[in-house]
Structure 1
Amino acid sequence: MEYRKLGETDLAVSAITFGAWAAGGWMWGGNDDDAAIEAMKTAHDMGVTSIDTAPIYGQGKSEELVGKAIKGIARDKVQILTKYGMRWDDNKGTLAFKSKDNDGKDIDIYKYAGKESVISECENSLKRLGTDYIDLYQIHWHDMTTPIEETMEAVLRLKEQGKIREAGVCNYTAEQMLTAETVIKLASNQVPFSMVNRGIEDELIPHCIAARKSILAYSPLERGLLTGKMQPGQKFGEGDHRASVKYFKDENIKRTNDFLTRIKPLADEKNATLGQLVIRWTIEHPGITIALVGARNAEQAKQNAKAIEVKLSGEEIEFINTQLNDLQIVG
């Protein structure tokens, strides 16, 4: 495995980090708890020492499963990345969207990051995770009702108390990052980035490179689309959010598969899967520090970790990029 420091901090995380959204079941049509825990343990055995989670993933469930998975592992041998700022148990802030929990009960999700909320969320996360500190604490989404400075003052207090090691953000613009940094030094910004979703290339990546901030790319496999295992007419289970996402429209699955067919010979040449080739391309992309990749079971976790063994030359990356430039996503 390769390990990379976040921003200008001393916090080193695995270049392939375990993304634990699906482990919470919520918005993924449920999950198998034992399989999720085994996936995390297997990933760690393969050198994936970092796990990214959030309270909202299963309304605490993902964090609880992470806590069970890391139990017995020396605390300095694992890095816990979690978040705050999305509440299902309070109605302050702004309504983000309506959803259902894992039991099918209606819930309202709010974006809220007032100072007192950040402090209490951290305490709850520490309990669920079974630890006394969080390595990277990230705001999940910008809360328009709370000044960024107020939110970051709470995070600074948590850092001074030793409850978190470093501060990060998610889904922030470059301007929002600059505002946050008037209060606390940021390590990173976690944002969506994949071969079919490259919107951060114009502004955010150049900013982070210049400011020496890390980018944690989430959904690098575009939630399974870039594995090549999906076909037009794909059926998703009840509660699976992908059914309403544009990338999973039949026409876009077809177009993506046509692109993947063109780069598959390169994957075959390297004795790698398409998913592994995509993960490697992601962490080789300028400005991208970490790829967050989820796994439902131990075998998927093992295959994801092995992506680190794929080596790409400059010419091979250019070949992939050339093929990618012909891919147009519609809708």
Structure 2
Amino acid sequence: MEKKRLGNSDMDITRIGLGAWAIGGSWRWGWGHQDEKDSIRTIHKALDSGINWIDTAPAYGLGTSEKVIGKALKERNDKPYIFTKCGILWDNKGKAWQEISRKTILKEIDESLTRLGVDVIDLYQIHWPNPDKNIEEAWETLAEIKEQGKVRYIGVSNFSVEQLKRAEKIAPITSLQPPYSILRRDIEKEILPHCQEKNIGVIVYSPMASGLLTGKVTEEWVASLPDDDWRKQADDFRQPRLARNLALVEILRDIAKKHNSTIAETAIAWTLKHPAVTAAIVGMRRPDQVDGVTGAPGVQLDNEDLERIETFIKQNP
């Protein structure tokens, strides 16, 4: 599978990586119940397909995602790059909140190493810049953890350009993780150009818009979602936005047929076309989902394809 160097690191990562949000199972921002055996089989199949990195976070399932990844990797000799995060905490009742500070991060890093069953994490990221006033303290702490050898590289997620510049004064940023898809393009104006200029790798999340751009979503499908799946109440999955989004999917369906790809691969390929984007995080929770996304880096969208998408977006803002 095609690879690209991640920012200022020595890591050549595949253009898509395994996103481990959904395998966290049921929690405040989860997608409902998840079978652990399915998760482990999915991880193995993704690695067998050539994917060489996994992105997770302690908060995904309140520790569950990292633990499952740790179990899955014990069964393999080949080890992928592991990317995880800090900055979302929870209590014993399952209530979660965003918080970054030196004290919390020093505790989180050791807990993540234990759950993952590794001695060093390849990329450690600030999950959310909250509270904003603690960004400098948090980034200084990540730089210290890197010096200690607990992590190889440090990055951020969901940062603005102004917040990136504040962190850059303290220590180099290896990567940024922002949301990016055909339906969410706000990073194109300032964030992607800044990352390109500063050699900050960009690994985008939600390239399929949380499943909307896969071709599997219908109004009936949304209605059938479990109550603990946050998408059931999300505006993009409800009318009138849902009808507009499904109309876009039909355009992607035509383009996918042209390139002998899946709708999901076409949506992912659209994000990978931007020169500032290093790779995309692709959520997978069952082994069969792997087959429908691994061809994304090979889909070469042409000007006609891109113009069709642009025209639709302009006509249906």
TM bin, normalised by shorter chain, reads: over 0.9
Q: Cα distance, 1:145 vs. partner?
A: 6.5
Asked if 1:174 corresponds to 2:161, the answer is: yes
Contact 1:256 1:327 in 2 (8 A): no
1:198-217 residue pairs with structure 2 within 5 A? 198-217=185-204
- Single out whichever of 306-315 and 199-208 deviates more from structure 2: 306-315
Matching residue of 1:196: 183
Matching residue of 2:89: 87
Matching residue of 1:324: 313
Matching residue of 2:20: 20
Q: What CA distance in whole angstroms lies between the structure 2 residues aligned with 1:188 and 1:114?
A: 20
Q: What CA distance in whole angstroms lies between the structure 2 residues aligned with 1:151 and 1:323?
A: 42
Q: Percent identity?
A: 38
Q: What CA distance in whole angstroms lies between the structure 1 residues aligned with 2:124 and 2:213?
A: 29
TM-score by length of structure 1 reads 0.89
Matching residue of 1:239: 228
For 1:20, the aligned partner's letter is A
Matching residue of 1:249: 238
Q: What CA distance in whole angstroms lies between the structure 1 residues aligned with 2:234 and 2:168?
A: 33
Q: Cα distance, 1:106 vs. partner?
A: 4.8
Q: What CA distance in whole angstroms lies between the structure 1 residues aligned with 2:275 and 2:249?
A: 21
Q: What CA distance in whole angstroms lies between the structure 2 residues aligned with 1:261 and 1:3?
A: 30
Matching residue of 1:291: 280
Q: What CA distance in whole angstroms lies between the structure 1 residues aligned with 2:3 and 2:76?
A: 18
Asked if 1:111 corresponds to 2:111, the answer is: no
Contact 2:62 2:94 in 1 (8 A): no
Provide the secondary structure at the position in 2 that maps to 1:80: strand
RMSD of equivalent CA atoms: 1.7
Unaligned runs of 5+ in 2: none
Contact 1:52 1:82 in 2 (8 A): yes
For 1:81, the aligned partner's letter is F
Q: Cα distance, 1:182 vs. partner?
A: 1.5
Contact 1:114 1:146 in 2 (8 A): no
Matching residue of 1:96: none
Change in CA separation of 1:316 and 1:34 when aligned onto 2, cut-off 3 Å: same
Asked if 1:59 corresponds to 2:62, the answer is: yes
Contact 2:100 2:131 in 1 (8 A): no
Contact 2:99 2:130 in 1 (8 A): yes
Q: Cα distance, 1:130 vs. partner?
A: 0.6
Q: What CA distance in whole angstroms lies between the structure 2 residues aligned with 1:296 and 1:161?
A: 34
For 1:83, the aligned partner's letter is K
Q: What CA distance in whole angstroms lies between the structure 2 residues aligned with 1:229 and 1:145?
A: 38
1:125-136 residue pairs with structure 2 within 5 A? 125-136=112-123
For 1:240, the aligned partner's letter is D
For 1:191, the aligned partner's letter is P
Matching residue of 1:274: 263
Provide the secondary structure at the position in 2 that maps to 1:221: coil
Contact 1:41 1:69 in 2 (8 A): yes
Unaligned runs of 5+ in 1: 90-104
